[in-house]
Amino acid sequence: MDNRQDFTLDPEKYSLDKVRQLVDDLHEQGQKYVMMLDPGVHKLDSYPTYSRGVEVDAFIKAADGSLYRGEQWAGEVVWPDWFAPETGAWWTDEILLFFDPETGVDIDGAWNDMNEVSNFCADVDCDPSEEATKRNAEVDASSKPLRSRQDSKGDMKGLPDRDLFNPDYRINNHQGDLSVRTLYTNNTNADGTAQYDTHNMHGLMMITATRNALLARRPNSRPFVLTRSTFAGAGAKAAHWFGDNASNWDDYRATISQMLSFAAVHAVPMVGSDVCGFNGDAQEQMCARWALLGAFQPFYRNHADISAPNQEFYLWALATQAAQKAIDARYRLLDYIYTAMHRAASAGVPIVNPLFFVYPEDAETFGIDLQWFYGDALLVSPVTDDDSTSVTFYLPNDIFYDFWTLQPVQGKGATVTVDDVAFTDIPVHIRGGTVLPLRSASGNTTELVRQNDFTLVVAPGSDGKASGSLYLDDGDSLDVGDKYSDISFGWDGKTLRAEGTFGYETDVVVEVIKVLGGEEPVTKEGKWSLNEAFEVTVS
């Protein structure tokens, strides 16, 4: 960005021709490019996005009818009023113009940050132009000091004389009244509602507008939007990361319950944290553990504040080894979790599950918040104590199989302690009674992974049977029509059967079937097509 303004590039460091070449190179290698968009629009008459927004009355108003101003990264900013009739079209036009595939930056997704809204003004009488000047941000000479907040009763039917800044019902806002570090709660939307009543919808409305704009760019490609702010229904439109966490063990542990809350309860399936933490100084052992933990969460990235010490995995030997193992497994499992994601999108089935979702009759699972099922078949039990190689986890009364060694492990409805978990390892178990589709090899892009054949791992339950599924399509089309395959696998103790819908043509085959349960898996090799039903007897 140029001075952190949306829809701009630094003309010296990141000129358009260089960025276009970078994006072209990434696309040639099967990689994607995502750019950040903050909601705060720099209030500068010479900034085209701002001036075009003013022309269509796209910005939120203060209680006195003037443009409401605050401070964000670019300096003094205004914010979109998503209730105004022309704001959605203005936002779409800005995205179409700057991200034009032929003349601009050909992005593959958009990252919506700071959209709660976050406002750097620390109290309600802050002067954003003055604060921006202190940070050497460019400010219009015409900017005037922000008026002290206007008194506004925000009367509503049945609620006369309500106080929008200090309501009778107080939340535990440790930063002060409701307007501190965000929009004034008495700001007025275009439809006459107050921000007090619509604050929580701002992020959802921004991601909706961004999704609509990306669809206008490519109508039949699935739009990828990543958001920091969410509201009810956000999971149908965007991925979510948990925001500015810290590089410490407490926040490492917290990501597990955060993930379970969003993915299993709030119906936001594509969630995860900033691996190794965003703020602070990441340490090698913690980062190695986090590289493994994060690989078994739906959304996975290593991301840190610009002022934090570098924390790329390759900077440490342990983190490098852990990340290599984790990413290899994650990419081999992409079709398994893609199938789970399809179930989440089409039927609302959680992509990750707390143990009590899978074992609802087992009361011992009810309070467990440091283990989870990745999909319905993989039980993940990471080391969670600081700098430890020991972990105690719960195994329900069922048969399991170690994901890494494929050896059977009989759960007894009790905790198990393992004292020698290397910093390059994470306990993962396959639940008995499942069939796990794995790519036989991984790759460093999804495009390469999709070229690899499958291995089916059959993990018989205590009754000797197992089942699983695999969903395949082109991975990009919003409407795949009938060009998809939805395959069910069933194992009866002797024969594996594949049945279902086979509308997605692929040259990829199942090349290996592994049946677990003995000292060594029983393996059968072949070339079974995924374009039709098949059955295989394994003995």
Catalytic residues: 113, 116, 244
CA triple 307-77-9, angle to 5 deg: 60
* Of 81, 75, 106, nearest in space to 4 by CA: 75
Kindly give, in sequence order, each residue whose CB lies less than 8 Å from that of residue 274, ignoring residues fewer than 6 positions away: 241, 242, 244, 245, 301, 302, 303, 304
Residue whose tokens read 């910093």: 423
400, two tokens: 């399991």
Distance CA 461, CA 459 (A): 7
Distance CA 66, CA 61 (A): 5
Q: Spell out the long-range contacts of 448-451 with Cβ–Cβ below 8 A and sequence spacing 24 or more.
A: 448/30, 449/331, 449/332, 449/334, 450/475, 450/508, 451/508
The DSSP code sequence of 481-511 is: TT--EEEEEEE-SSEEEEEEEE-S--S-EEE
| CB half-sphere exposure, 57, CA atoms < 13 A | 10
Q: Give the alpha-carbon dihedral of 475, 480, 482, 487, to 10 degrees.
A: 30
Kindly give, in sequence order, each residue whose CB lies less than 8 Å from that of residue 536, ignoring residues fewer than 6 positions away: 495, 496, 513, 524, 526, 528
Kindly give, in sequence order, each residue whose CB lies less than 8 Å from that of residue 206, ignoring residues fewer than 6 positions away: 39, 80, 82, 112, 115, 227, 229
Verify cis geometry, omega within 30 degrees of 0, for the bond prior to 117: yes
Distance CA 214, CA 118 (A): 24
Q: Are 497 and 535 in contact (CB under 8 A)?
A: yes
- Which residues lie across from 194 on neighbouring strands? 188
Residue whose tokens read 């199942």: 510
* Of 502, 409, 525, nearest in space to 456 by CA: 525
* Of 265, 332, 318, nearest in space to 290 by CA: 318
Alpha helices (H) in 281-433, listed in sequence order: 284-295, 317-332, 334-347, 355-358
